[in-house]
């Protein structure tokens, strides 16, 4: 473990093979479907490729060190596979409290699960702490009397099975789960993470924080008391728009085993080559985050001086989330949004840019933009004319010239 080093050093040095004479500097790719031996995974054996792979382990260790987790992370086939696993931490028939604006895959997946009766969803304005806390209080009060940790002051997540008086293995599942995302996708609302996590812990409600936008270089939710942190590795962690992966990290051994079991039995496993690429991409995370955040702040400043558009970016002093972001983050991220008067104007910008790429996704070295309401499932509370901008590492003057010219075309 390398916790005594700065995160900018950790991304370069973590996950390396032992330093031995003539050893490889980088970990190898292990391509195998099975492993030799008689020990099962309960005895520490790998046994089969669905349970683990040596290529996953350096990345999983790197994520743990960056997020401050006491246990190795878990890599998944996609961000949505990680989301699906994390949603199993609510008991059948329980309640998931989610931001009304968050990663569309998480929101849509949860809504589909809720439609089957798996659990119910309560959506909240995550920036309204009082409303979120009230939703937790109501959900806990409405939970069945015998449910594990269903009352305020319940046991920690890892003690759920014991709280329920069951002889079954502990799973950490609870009747209420709080899903947090800050800043939110795509509205960039900023949650008061310390206050919400503290309230959830007092109510016996486990918390999952999607940290994809901020990255562990800007925000570390586990250090604020969150139970699980989640990433779409596809985005900033890998950083080159060439892999699809997800990951979670936790310091709770019961929660980790529950998530690992879900990955193993449902098969949402990652390919070794993709994980190797993600670790390679992670090496430059600090440089990419530094440059893209600097570009995003400068573009936000220039855009805010332009009439006819609304700019959403927590780095701007007049942004509603600025004070919270400054207090709990070490930067403001590289995602910003602009709201144009109409969907037609926003589409015209996307069709006029030449350096910016009109495409979904974010967090790569290249700058992307898209009109979010082009997705049918995007919440209607997202403005029709909103463009989400994922700012890359190009020269800021080139990005500005291209975007400003496109705005001239769209707005006249």
CATH of the domain at 241: 3.40.640.10
Q: Report the share of the chain in percent with pLDDT over 70.
A: 93
Residue 229's DSSP bridge partners are 209, 249
d(CA 179, CA 132): 11
Please answer whether residues 274 and 232 qualify as being in contact, where contact means their C-beta atoms are separated by less than 8 angstroms. no
Tell me, yes or no, whether 131 and 157 share the same domain: yes
Residue 18 within any structural domain of the chain: no
Tell me, yes or no, whether 208 and 274 share the same domain: yes
> Which entry of 173, 174, 220, 235 is annotated as an active-site residue?
235
> Which entry of 103, 192, 252, 319 is annotated as an active-site residue?
103
Total domain count, the chain? 2
Q: Write down the pLDDT at residue 148.
A: 55
d(CA 90, CA 84): 11
Question: Is 294 labeled as catalytic in the residue annotation?
Answer: no
pLDDT per residue as tens digits for the range 231-242: 999 999 999 999
pLDDT band of residue 40 (cuts 50, 70, 90) is confident
Residue 118 within any structural domain of the chain: yes
Q: Decide which of 373 and 165 is more confident.
A: 373
Tell me, yes or no, whether 158 and 178 share the same domain: yes
pTM > 0.85: yes
Nearest in space to 294 (alpha carbons), one of 213, 394, 220, 361: 394
Question: Is 48 labeled as catalytic in the residue annotation?
Answer: no
pLDDT per residue as tens digits for the range 174-230: 999 999 999 999 999 999 999 999 999 999 999 999 999 999 999 999 999 999 999
pLDDT per residue as tens digits for the range 322-368: 999 999 999 999 999 999 999 999 999 999 999 999 999 999 999 99
Please answer whether residues 121 and 177 qualify as being in contact, where contact means their C-beta atoms are separated by less than 8 angstroms. no
> Which entry of 16, 48, 50, 120 is annotated as an active-site residue?
50
Pick the last residue of a domain from 252, 282, 312.
282
Q: Write down the pLDDT at residue 167.
A: 44
Q: Write down the pLDDT at residue 158.
A: 58
Of 20-34, 144-158, 285-299, minimum mean pLDDT range: 144-158
> Which entry of 210, 227, 252, 319 is annotated as an active-site residue?
210
Q: Write down the pLDDT at residue 43.
A: 77
- Given a cut of 60, whether residue 292 has pLDDT beyond it is yes
Q: Write down the pLDDT at residue 159.
A: 52
Tell me, yes or no, whether 261 and 291 share the same domain: no
Please answer whether residues 89 and 161 qualify as being in contact, where contact means their C-beta atoms are separated by less than 8 angstroms. no
pLDDT band of residue 131 (cuts 50, 70, 90) is very high
Tell me, yes or no, whether 301 and 268 share the same domain: no
Please answer whether residues 51 and 74 qualify as being in contact, where contact means their C-beta atoms are separated by less than 8 angstroms. no
Rounded mean pLDDT, 63-91: 98
Nearest in space to 149 (alpha carbons), one of 129, 123, 176: 176
Count the residues in the chain: 412
Question: Is 103 labeled as catalytic in the residue annotation?
Answer: yes
- Domain of 355, CATH number, reads 3.90.1150.10
Residue 358's DSSP bridge partners are 369
Which regions of 53-195 does DSSP assign to beta strands (E)?
Answer: 74-76, 90-99, 120-124, 174-181
pLDDT band of residue 162 (cuts 50, 70, 90) is very low
pLDDT per residue as tens digits for the range 230-284: 999 999 999 999 999 999 999 999 999 999 999 999 999 999 999 999 999 999 9
Average pLDDT, the chain: 93
Pick the last residue of a domain from 282, 302, 324.
282
Tell me, yes or no, whether 312 and 253 share the same domain: no
Q: Write down the pLDDT at residue 146.
A: 59
pLDDT band of residue 166 (cuts 50, 70, 90) is very low
């Amino acid at each position: 473990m390398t916790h005594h080093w700065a995160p900018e050093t950790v991304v370069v040095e973590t996950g390396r093979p032992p330093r031995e004479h003539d050893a490889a500097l980088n970990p190898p790719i292990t391509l195998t479907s099975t492993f030799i031996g008689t020990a099962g995974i309960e005895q520490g054996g790998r046994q089969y490729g669905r349970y683990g792979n040596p290529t996953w382990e350096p990345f999983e260790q790197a994520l743990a060190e960056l997020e401050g987790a006491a246990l190795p992370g878990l890599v998944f086939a996609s961000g949505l596979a990680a989301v699906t696993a994390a949603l199993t931490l609510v008991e059948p028939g329980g309640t998931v409290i989610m931001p009304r604006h968050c990663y569309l895959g998480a929101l849509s997946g949860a809504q589909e699960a809720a439609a089957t009766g798996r659990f119910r969803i309560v959506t909240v304005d995550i920036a309204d702490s009082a409303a979120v806390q009230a939703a937790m209080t109501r959900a806990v009060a409405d939970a069945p009397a015998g449910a594990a940790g269903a009352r305020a002051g319940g046991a920690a997540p890892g003690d759920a099975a014991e709280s329920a008086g069951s002889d079954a293995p502990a799973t950490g599942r609870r009747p209420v789960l709080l899903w947090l995302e800050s800043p939110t996708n795509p509205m960039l609302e900023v949650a008061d993470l310390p206050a919400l996590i503290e309230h959830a812990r007092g109510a016996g409600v486990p918390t999952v924080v999607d940290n994809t936008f901020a990255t562990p270089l800007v925000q570390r939710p586990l250090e604020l008391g969150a139970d699980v942190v989640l990433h779409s590795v596809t985005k900033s962690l890998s950083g080159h728009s060439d892999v699809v992966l997800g990951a979670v990290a936790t310091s709770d051994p019961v929660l980790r085993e529950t998530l690992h079991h879900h990955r193993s039995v449902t098969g949402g496993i990652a390919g070794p080559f993709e994980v190797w690429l993600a670790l390679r991409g992670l090496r430059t995370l600090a440089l990419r985050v530094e440059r893209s955040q600097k570009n995003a702040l400068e573009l936000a400043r220039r855009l805010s001086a332009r009439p006819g558009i609304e700019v959403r970016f927590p780095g701007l002093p007049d942004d509603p989330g600025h004070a919270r972001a400054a207090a709990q983050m070490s930067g403001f991220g590289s995602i910003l949004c602009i709201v144009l008067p109409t969907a037609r104007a926003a589409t015209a910008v996307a069709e006029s840019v030449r350096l910016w790429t009109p495409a979904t996704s974010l967090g790569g070295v290249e700058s992307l933009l898209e009109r979010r309401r082009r997705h049918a499932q995007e919440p209607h509370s997202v403005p029709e004319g909103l463009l989400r901008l994922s700012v890359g590492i190009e020269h800021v003057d080139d990005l500005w010239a291209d975007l400003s010219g496109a705005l001239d075309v769209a707005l006249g």
